[in-house]
Chains A and B, each alone.
Chain A
Amino acid sequence: MNQTFEAKIWVLGDDIDTDIILPTEYLALKTVDDMKPYAFSPLRPELAGMIKPGDMIVAGKNFGCGSSREQAPEVVKALGISCIVAKSYARIFFRNAINNGLLLIENSELHDAVTEGDTAKVTPGEQIEYNGKIYKIESLPDNLMEILDAGGLVNAMRKKNGL
């Protein structure tokens, strides 16, 4: 997970709750692929259709607040988002995201600097380079990186079980 990648930026605000990420009425759709078109629909109905695999989201504080639905990080991951950079995350979303193999980065400054549509260069655990400026980022602890590197908790456990 330590290799550098470039990603196009989508910008969202503060308190993006799990009902915005995926409204309740779509939680029971059969597969996460079925849910994809409705991601972020209460806020920006067009967004899910515009996100391309490898893009990143830069958001404000308390990203993922609200319910414990695991479908929220699952659908963001399924859209191909490479990472989210937010000022802070709600507790259960943070855990569910890591467990579903979605990279989360905490940074308090980037959100105020970025423009949607620009690209940034991300080196996980080290830095983000945007518009000629370096934003230092903390590495997640090793045990969380293991889960992320495996592609989520189910895969990490399968690996542990020799599968």
Chain B
Amino acid sequence: MAHTLIEKIIGNNVNKDVKPGNIVTVNVDWCMVDDIMAPFTIKKFEEMGFSKVWDPDKIVLIYDHFLPATQTDDSRHFREADAFADKYGIKNVHRTDGICHQLMTEAGYVKPGDIAFGTDSHTVTYGCVGAFSTGIGYTEMAGILGTGQLWIKVPETIRVNINGKLPDNVTSKDVILRIIGDLTASGATYMALEFSGDTIDAMSVSSRMTMANMAVEAGAKCGVFAPDEKTCEYCGIAYDDKVKSLRPDPDAVYAKVMEYKAEEFVPVTACPSLVDNIKPVSEVKGTKVDQVFLGSCTNGRLEDLQAAAEILKGKHIAPYLKMIVTPASRKIYLEALKDGTLDILSDAGAIITTPGCGLCCGRGGGILSDGETVVATNNRNFLGRMGTSKVNIYLASPKTAAATALKGEITEME
């Protein structure tokens, strides 16, 4: 039987032919618990009566949402997670290294074909390397910690084909925002998104990561990319027959196929306060902006920082406007430090912060208040996400964000 990519990944794991709708129990390759959910997960794990974890080397604990702590109860989460890691021999603990969804592939855990679960909805990000990964609740995570298994329903797949060359002022962020706008916020519920076409082939793994990250904003269970040579280079593995087999069969059956011409994309923004409220940047051009946020697991990578630096080099952000730059990980922070990117951004007036989730989850510095407007490169513009419920959040690409910072009003890169 012909299979889509996600059907192949799940079928390989359970060693049988699967089709959409089947419920199967998978063996988990990796699980990730973040600092917010750690205490809840640990409590459930203890209630379940486990005396040991299934495999301490497959569990990754990452502190990122609350780092560095900004409220008095935050550090309790670190202490409880530390004690759990010590008690059960968990060595993979990242206390100050960056955002969980960046680290799960960057630090060498999740590889093509793997199955991973995390206690955060943006766990879908690892689809960028051809893995199946998705977010779950803390009770289920507690069960995985004890058993290494989880039941899942094999999803139907929506295939998204994109061919051609994207305009210079368009990034993969504009592409995924447009797709979410077309699908709506629930258009892919229960389903997998599978991205393909020569535009996708030409993208870096970082750019694909941005798209996989936002699959959940259309309700999807995951968003996957067939692994190629770039993926293998990023993951530090050989491009062998096993990896090459991880691609959809030509006659696989899809719930829907969406076709796009790359040349027809334009810079877009998700307007307040829904992720599927997508408009071309040109339609909201001129809107006065108080702050720009460049960062997050969606767009806090080196290529994002470099794209902004290219626009801001030798110039200065608009008067009154604040720009906050938060690299997604320590590795990215150091790379951007060494290649001069941070110099340029700082010279241009940006505030460079420690790696982590920062403002994306309404923590760290940069909270806004009633009537203020922020252009941000992260993944959600829900009410109250970056301050009060009367803050206007526009989601956009790093290029649009940098061009906007320069001008003090929403604008696209010229």
Which residues of A lie under 8 Å from residue B135 when comparing CB positions?
68, 92
Q: Please tell me the number of chain B residues within 8 Å of chain A, measured between CB atoms.
A: 25
Question: A161, B189: Cβ atoms under 8 Å?
Answer: no
* CA distance in complex: A35, B225 (Å): 42
A144 touches B23 (CB 8 A): yes
Cβ-defined partner of B143 (8 Å) among A141, A153, A162: A153
In the bound complex, residues from chain B placing their C-beta under 8 Å from that of A95 are 136-137, 140
Write the chain B residue with the least CB distance to A140: B23
Taken residue by residue from 151 to 175, chain B's Cβ proximity to chain A (1 for < 8 Å, 0 otherwise) reads as: 1000000000000000000000000
List CB contacts (< 8 Å) of B26-48 with chain A: 44, 47-48
A157-B137 contact given A62-B186, A143-B25, A143-B151, CB 8 Å threshold: no
Name the CB-closest residue of A to B190. A91
| Nearest CB in chain A: distance from B333 CB, A | 29
The residue from A143, A153, A162 contacting B140, defined by CB atoms under 8 A apart = A153
C-alpha gap A144/B143 in the complex (Å): 14
Q: Output the least CB separation between A154 and chain B (Å).
A: 5
B:186-204 near A, CB below 8 Å:
186, 189-190
Q: Among residues 87 to 103 in chain A, which have CB atoms less than 8 Å away from a CB atom of chain B?
A: 90-92, 95-96, 99-100
Q: In the docked arrangement, what's the CA distance between A148 and B151, Å?
A: 14
Question: With A and B bound together, what is the CA distance between A70 and B43 in angstroms?
Answer: 14
**Interface secondary structure of B, over-half rule:** mixed
Partner of B48, one of A68, A141, A154: A154
Tell me the nearest residue of chain B to A65, going by C-beta. B186
Q: Could you say which residues of chain B place their CB within 8 Å of the CB of A90?
A: 186, 189, 219
Closest to A100 in B: B139
Docked Cα-Cα span, A92 to B189, in Å, equals 10
The complex places the Cα of A134 from the Cα of B190 at a distance, in Å, of 28
Task: With A95-B137, A99-B139 as known contacts, state yes or no: A154 contacts B189, CB within 8 Å.
Answer: no
Which residues in window 180-227 of B have CB below 8 A to A?
A: 186, 189-190, 219, 221
Among B49, B219, B221, the residue within 8 A (CB) of A157 is B49
Give the CA-CA distance A96 to B186 in the complex, in Å: 18
Q: What residues of chain B lie closer than 8 Å to A161, measured between beta carbons?
A: 48-51, 146
B138 within 8 A of partner (CB) = yes
Q: Are B137 and A99 in contact (CB under 8 A)?
A: yes
Q: Which residue of A lies closest to B134 (CB)?
A: A91
* A158 part of interface (Cβ distance < 8 Å): yes
Query: Which chain A residues numbered 143 to 163 have a C-beta less than 8 Å away from chain B?
Result: 143-144, 152-154, 157-158, 160-163
Q: Is B121 an interface residue (CB 8 A)?
A: yes
Name the contact of A96 in the complex, choosing from B51, B137, B147 (C-beta under 8 A).
Answer: B137
B137 adjacent to A141 (CB under 8 Å): no
Interface residues of chain A, those whose CB is within 8 Å of chain B, are: 15, 62, 65, 68, 70, 90-92, 95-96, 99-100, 141, 143-144, 152-154, 157-158, 160-163
| Residue positions of B touching A, CB distance < 8 A | 23, 25, 44, 47-51, 121, 135-140, 142-143, 146-147, 151, 186, 189-190, 219, 221
| List of 9 A-B pairs having minimum Cβ-Cβ separation, nearest first | A157-B48, A161-B49, A163-B49, A141-B23, A99-B139, A158-B49, A96-B137, A70-B137, A154-B47
List 14 contacting pairs A-B, 8 Å CB cutoff, sorted by A: A65-B189, A68-B135, A68-B137, A70-B138, A70-B139, A90-B189, A96-B137, A141-B151, A143-B151, A153-B140, A157-B146, A161-B48, A161-B49, A161-B50
Q: Give 7 new A-B contacts, CB below 8 A, not counting A15-B186, A153-B139, A157-B142.
A: A62-B186, A70-B138, A95-B137, A96-B137, A100-B139, A152-B139, A157-B48
